[in-house]
Structure 1
Amino acid sequence: MSGRSNSVARLVSPRRFILTCDALSEDLPPDFVRIRIEFCGVCGTDRSFYLGHRDEGYPISLGHEHCGTIVAVGDQVTSYQVRDFVAIDPNYRCGCCLYCRTGAGHLCERATVSLYSNRGYANFIDIKASYILKLPEYRSRHLGALVEPLSVTINATDISKCALADESTLILGIGGIGTLLVFNLLETQDGEIWIYDNAPHKMASLKDLYPSRIKILDCADDRVFGVVFETTGSSDGFLHGCARLSKLGRLILVSRYHSDEPSIPDRLPWKQPNIYFVHLNGNGESFPKAAALLKRSWGPDFDRLLSFHALSDIDKVFAEYESLPANKKIISMK
């Protein structure tokens, strides 16, 4: 690998990415692998950094829905080899602390440990082998970029104990997570689902794929639901979810409110709801489930929900994010 360089998109201030050219290290730690990144999805968390809603210091490397091909392995790595196609679960789990031992590895006491060189908006990443999962042979490699966000929705579904055939269910927000949540629910259960988003074209794209199983909610309709998934990322979305919840209903918050933390509406306690917070993909068991579900159920027609953009255009993608028509945006390194 000597002499190779790595293009990395780094956010140097709110609303400003720059591409840097870093020299790849000639020495790979013994328990690391080097991956040539092929695709990386754009997540709402990345957007919150871009907009300046979160500041953990600059410059910062972003992108965590990535996949690619292993091009080098450390001396101690035995489970993976060069040319393996893998997805990366960016959540570190030590396996030893109280949270890891009790099945809550997403809350690991060492979760902030970052055993990698940079994140996914780059050509290469050096990363500890424990973060990665070998993927099946997909019809198209870009499906690997959907594994991590889909694993979050599988975790949300498990937490919700949602049963579409028995209870009315609404998903608020049809961005990347909301879209994959619909996909997971409808591909693994019978029944129908209601959806709502401020962008009609996003709802229409999903409705075209599931014409008899998706119903689009009209704001003038005052119906309530036993299960509401809130994925909008805004306090308005949270308030809408509270209003749509039936008595004893379940509100599953997949959103992470970075800029406008919502407050509980005064009358919500009267409904005696159950509110669940979804953080990341749980203990990680949903990660291989997501990889298998994509292999089994994501057909070519679903690709119309996606748009692909060059790494060199990343600043433009983030700046024009809301006006781009696709439900899910993916940065391609090819």
Structure 2
Amino acid sequence: MTGLCEGSVVVVTGAGRGLGRAHALALAAEGARVVVNDLGVGLAGSGSGGAAEPAQRVADEITAHGGQAVVHRGDIATTDGAASLVSTALETYGRLDTLVNNAGFLRDRMLVNLSEDDWDDVMRVHLKGHFLTLKHAAGHWRAEAKAGRTPRARVVNTSSGAGLLGSVGQGNYSAAKAGILGLTLVAAAELGRYGVRVNAVAPAARTRMTEQTFADTMATPEDGGFDAMAPENVSPLVVWLGSDASAEVSGRVFEAEAGRITVMDGWRPGPTVDKGARWSPAEAGEAARALLADAEGPRPVYGAE
């Protein structure tokens, strides 16, 4: 390893399993001291998910390899939980350099079957959970900057291809992940003056949330043993974005899958026409059709036939 994060303090939410676990271990391997956050709930956000202490196991794995880690079991989608997450880093290690927002779960339903509770719960954990941790970390970093100690801080948010394109049966998840993209852009614009860089990743990997989707993509001798959908494939980019090496990068979104990294361009103006006056409905329709004929077609929503 290169020691890319040597001496830094990093918080990773949802770090007990899957992508969060892979990120925590990769950051620790590069010298970071890690706050391992996880509630230990099941896939749908309740119960233990078959493992009582996933955060502790990850912390133990880090320390067994000579690293430093502390466990945080608070609910980051509450004000108290998010605040205690930041204070755990400060009280344990005296600083906070990087926040990796990763926690989440699924409540998949087609829209006509999606309950209000399932909508609210997914929005709460994914979108509100990102907001609250970001708010409390940013408050600390702003105070440091105002005291003349401008930090070199990083935030890595976790979106999804579902947030970029939409995903059939995941209206709540897609909306939450799209909201995280908007939050990332605003945070990058607002917090840059305080020395904070904010980016997002949209990973594709085999986790509890996607194990059925990627069940047939395990490593084989024919492909040299490379497991294309292993969560560990995403972590190197997260480590780099969470380090000083990415100091000039902010407000960007990356897709990461297997050995592929893509910078996502987001919404940009396409073909346009300006009449210079108000359109009639018929005229507006004709203009829209002409513009659509010149525009690139949208990529299909995941799961659409």
Q: What is the TM-score with the length of structure 1 in the denominator?
A: 0.27
Q: Decide which structure has greater helix share.
A: 2
Which structure has more strand as a fraction of its residues? 1
